[in-house]
Amino acid sequence: MVPRLTLGLGCAGMMLALSLVPGYGTPRDSQLNGESLRQAARQVTASLAAPDSVRQAELQRLLADWMDTDSFTRATFDRYIQRSLDDYSKALSRDEMEALVHHHRQRVQAAVEERLERDLLDWADTRNIGAVHVVSHRVQDDTGEMELLILTEDGQHGIRGHLARQEDRWGIVELELDGDKLSDLYRARFHRILDRRYSPPVLVAHLLDRPYVVLEDFTGTPVGDLPLNWGVWRDRDQKKPLTYRIATQGDRPYLAAADSGQAIILGKFAHWNPREYPIMTWCWRTDALPDGGDESRTETNDSAAGLYVLFSQNWLGVPRQVKYVWSTTLPVGTIGRRNLLFRPWYIVMESGYDNVGRWTFEKADLEDHHARTIGGEPATRTTGLGILTDASNTGTYAEAGYGEIRVWTRQALEDGLITDHCSHLNESTRTACAPGK
């Protein structure tokens, strides 16, 4: 594991390098001369000696103005992002795949920006910079380099900033700290996520030091469309009309679902370690329950809302899965499986009509439920998620909505950090309706 201090020092040096560019948005190489850089170095040293609030504001401004986080994120994590989404390559068109990669790249980039800022401020709070010296600089066409020597209370450090000009803007696209590239340091720090090709939201959680991963929040898709990176699960459903669409509740998107006989399962690839993040939480709401729905019997096996967790596959490629349901008739806490080949286990989280029309917050212990159903510990890399609103067996009608899905560390549960992230949905107005009957 790369020490946090190493990353922080790199960020501090990077921001100093950014500060030495005398005129942001100016493409003229002549402005990057030795005297102007030395004058900027003196100004940087003075600003770092300012009171905490002034120093923090200045460092935040420098990061926002000068770091080319798009280029840095691409250089550091783009290969991982594309590899982690490779499961979709055969299911999506080229344009759809590019949109999916772009969506996750933006999320990772935002997390990188926040991580850089926090690393920088953490380091600046614990080390005193005595002086900044310009060793050399070079600019040619749209690229350049500058070498600095930074003197701190624990020694001296060589910094090399790699510059690039995008249109009329200069920015730092890479930084070397004592010969080590910052992109390499970040990849080394998060290598376990990259090597296992966990989904990009897992990297975002680690970059932000969050105790939870947002597996799905249904952003990035226009209202009325099928959600980004969700698709029809079973081959036999490919030609059926889809009754799943993005809708909004206040300013929050959610997945609206309805069924009167199609019984279409939507699925998405979602890879995380359920031993590291074993507690799953989500929001859902039912507006119509299938009359007589009873998941224990084939002829009445309908659920207004169902959320599948696909833990792994057996040697035949059959998913090892658990389905969390809102049942019409079975009591909360019921665990069962119909006596048919390869049927999923189901666990009843909500039952009956008492909460119909209201968003409810659910919490499930995946490790415990895996042990009580499939048996043993779950694999260390999940396969995906599925969603099903179903009224096909009862010949009735079901309608539901699905909100944000998270997974949490067990420590977060023990520390009382898991809170209801659904309550705001009941306080806002629905501005787009679920698909009609």
Question: Per-residue DSSP letters for 223-287?
Answer: TTSPPTT-EE-SGGGTTSPP-EEEEEETTEEEEEEEESS--PPEEEE----TTTS-EEEEEEEEE
Q: How confident is the model at residue 48 (pLDDT cuts 50, 70, 90)?
A: low
Structure tokens at 414: 């023990």
Task: Say if residue 219 is in the same domain as residue 273.
Answer: yes
Query: Does the pLDDT at position 47 exceed 90?
Result: no
Q: Look at 12 and 194; give whichever has higher pLDDT.
A: 194
Please indicate, yes or no, if residue 435 is contained in any of the structural domains: no
User: Burial level of 25, CB count in 10 A (0-12/13-18/19+)?
Assistant: exposed
Please indicate, yes or no, if residue 306 is contained in any of the structural domains: yes
Please indicate, yes or no, if residue 271 is contained in any of the structural domains: yes
Q: How confident is the model at residue 435 (pLDDT cuts 50, 70, 90)?
A: very low
Amino acid letter, residue 29: D
Query: Does the pLDDT at position 278 exceed 60?
Result: yes
User: How do residues 127-137 score in pLDDT, each as one tens digit?
Assistant: 666 777 778 87
Task: Say if residue 303 is in the same domain as residue 362.
Answer: yes
User: Burial level of 415, CB count in 10 A (0-12/13-18/19+)?
Assistant: exposed
Q: Are 213 and 248 in contact, with CB atoms under 8 Å apart?
A: no
36-40, 60-64, 363-367: which has the minimum mean pLDDT?
36-40
Final residue in a domain of this structure, among 174, 207, 240: 207
Provide the pLDDT for residue 25: 37
Final residue in a domain of this structure, among 181, 207, 233: 207
Please indicate, yes or no, if residue 42 is contained in any of the structural domains: yes
Q: Which domain holds residue 395?
A: 212-427
Please indicate, yes or no, if residue 436 is contained in any of the structural domains: no
Q: Are 406 and 215 in contact, with CB atoms under 8 Å apart?
A: yes
How much is the mean pLDDT over the chain? Answer: 85
User: How do residues 190-224 score in pLDDT, each as one tens digit?
Assistant: 999 999 999 999 999 999 999 999 999 999 899 99
Task: Say if residue 363 is in the same domain as residue 244.
Answer: yes
Task: Say if residue 137 is in the same domain as residue 235.
Answer: no
Q: Look at 79 and 233; give whichever has higher pLDDT.
A: 79
Please indicate, yes or no, if residue 114 is contained in any of the structural domains: yes
| CATH code for the domain in which residue 33 is found | 3.10.450.630
Task: Say if residue 220 is in the same domain as residue 363.
Answer: yes
Task: Say if residue 270 is in the same domain as residue 412.
Answer: yes
Task: Say if residue 391 is in the same domain as residue 408.
Answer: yes
Phi, psi at 332, each rounded to 5°: -60, 135
Please indicate, yes or no, if residue 144 is contained in any of the structural domains: yes
User: How do residues 390-406 score in pLDDT, each as one tens digit?
Assistant: 999 999 999 999 999 99
Task: Say if residue 257 is in the same domain as residue 158.
Answer: no
Q: Which sign does the torsion angle of CA 435, 250, 231, 367 carry?
A: negative
Q: How confident is the model at residue 86 (pLDDT cuts 50, 70, 90)?
A: very high
Task: Say if residue 161 is in the same domain as residue 244.
Answer: no
| CATH code for the domain in which residue 381 is found | 2.60.120.260
Structure tokens at 109: 């980039």
User: How do residues 142-177 score in pLDDT, each as one tens digit?
Assistant: 888 888 887 877 788 788 888 888 777 777 888 887
User: Burial level of 214, CB count in 10 A (0-12/13-18/19+)?
Assistant: middle
129-143, 321-335, 411-425: which has the minimum mean pLDDT?
129-143
Task: Say if residue 34 is in the same domain as residue 153.
Answer: yes
Provide the pLDDT for residue 436: 42
Q: How far apart are CA 239 and CA 260, in angstroms?
A: 16
Final residue in a domain of this structure, among 207, 241, 276: 207
Task: Say if residue 30 is in the same domain as residue 164.
Answer: yes
Task: Say if residue 161 is in the same domain as residue 253.
Answer: no
Please indicate, yes or no, if residue 432 is contained in any of the structural domains: no
40-44, 88-92, 178-182, 229-233: which has the minimum mean pLDDT?
40-44
Report the domain count for the chain: 2
